[in-house]
Amino acid sequence: MTIEFLDFYADWCGPCRIMEPTLQALEQELGEKVKITKIDVDNENEKAAAHGVMSIPTYIILKDGNEVERFVGATSKEILKTKIEAHLN
């Protein structure tokens, strides 16, 4: 079972910048269990389009390559961690 957390962001996005320290802390805590992939929508717009990303920040949790959860907007580390951990079992 592989869990991947996709972070769709842009450098000019205020909420994306606000979330950066939260995602770094999350990566330190869950890095062994979850692969966190940052995707800059300006440089990788094909990937954003392939995932149907219309707003940023958008977070998508993939389990074995399939999307299992998606959420948009800034949120707390605790909420992100809870959402990811729900798919680890």
**Cα 5 from Cα 82, distance rounded (Å):** 13
Mean pLDDT of the chain: 93
Give 32-61 pLDDT, tens digit per residue: 899 999 999 999 999 999 999 999 999 999
Does residue 13 carry a catalytic annotation?
yes
Does residue 25 carry a catalytic annotation?
no
**Cα 13 from Cα 60, distance rounded (Å):** 18
| Count of residues in the chain | 89
Q: What is the pTM of this model?
A: 0.92
> Which is the catalytic residue, given 16, 53, 80, 84?
16
Residue 43 belongs to domain with CATH number: 3.40.30.10
Q: How confident is the model at residue 1 (pLDDT cuts 50, 70, 90)?
A: low
Name the nearest CA neighbour of 31 among 81, 76, 72.
81
For residue 22, what are the domain limits? 3-85
Domain count for the chain, please give it: 1
Average pLDDT over residues 4-14: 96
Higher pLDDT, 89 or 17: 17
CA distances from 12 to 4, 42, 87 (A): 24, 10, 31
pLDDT at 62 over 70: yes
Query: Other CB atoms closer than 10 Å to residue 17's CB: what's the count?
Result: 14
